[in-house]
Amino acid sequence: MRNTAKFTTAVLAAGALTFGLTACGSDKDSGSSDYSGPLVVAASPTPHAEILNFVKDKLAKKAGLDLEVKEFTDYITPNTATEDGSVDANYFQNQPYLDDFNKKRGTHIAPVVTVHLEPLGLYSHKVKKADALKSGATIAVPNDAVNEARALKLLAANGLITLKDGVGTEATPQDITKNPKDLKFKEVEAAQTARSLDDVDAAVINGNYAISAGIKPAKDALVLESAKNSPYGNFLAVKEGNQKDPRVKKLAKLLTSPEVKKFIEDKYQGSVIPSF
């Protein structure tokens, strides 16, 4: 049985004070270079924890790496836990999201190595083609700034809307200049977009949440984000200064190994794409 601990936001919130006090008194936070003990990595359940558990089960022992995986179901706690030292690293996010998070929350998280891309997709239980969406249809989109902008850019790239020229990673529905189908947008937490499919006409869903809901992005998406020149590759990240941790270096090497590339390609069949 895998030694994987699953945490929800509520449980983590209840234990945050204990974790914080422990982290503040640790040698690691005091600037010590003692990197003994297991490397604890926070990850979204799918595909990140699955990829890490493959590394743990198949590759880590031979490389001399003691790896512990903790699953988180939201996009906030993995970074705050990495910042306060409750975990050593995380694996769930892309650069635009991290830049926005560090800026807004004053954290100091830094990428180590990019591993894969999860294409964002538009899905529906009511229509089989994007152009079949009716006038006034409601589309659920993630409510965090980066993923909402990413969702709107996906719709714009496929001709459903037009955005202002030069709009960046903070685009909102107010930046739409043309909306020929008079589409309505329902902003929901990214983790809830897949669950909203029965309540809306379509939803833009992050790849990890789509896979967790039993959706196959490469097969089921009405439109799918292009992997070409994408800035949205997901990476291993640590608090600034911990890139030198030899355990992190070992994990970075394993995550970009031929074995992991084959695992991703075989298991996800184009729904998750290696970035190395």
Three-state SS string over 106-158 comes to CCCEEEEEEEEECCCEEECCCCCCHHHCCCCCEEEEECCHHHHHHHHHHHHHC
Closest CA to 191 of 22, 56, 77, 58: 77
Q: E strand or H helix at 273, and its extent?
A: strand 273-274
The reported pLDDT for the residue numbered 17 is 39
Q: From CA 265, how far away is CA 64, in angstroms rounded?
A: 25
- For the chain, the average pLDDT equals 89
Q: Which residues is 40 bridged to in the sheet?
A: 68
Report whether pLDDT(97) > 80: yes
The reported pLDDT for the residue numbered 170 is 78
Interior angle at CA 238, CA 235 and CA 12, nearest 5? 100
Comparing 218 with 182, the larger pLDDT belongs to: 182
Q: From CA 158, how far away is CA 154, in angstroms rounded?
A: 6
Q: Who's near 79: CB < 8 A, 6+ residues apart? A: 90, 93, 98, 101, 105, 107, 109, 237
Tens of pLDDT, residue by residue over 128-170, are 999 999 999 999 999 998 899 999 999 999 999 999 998 877 7
pTM of the model: 0.75
Report residue 33's pLDDT band, with 50, 70 and 90 as the boundaries: low
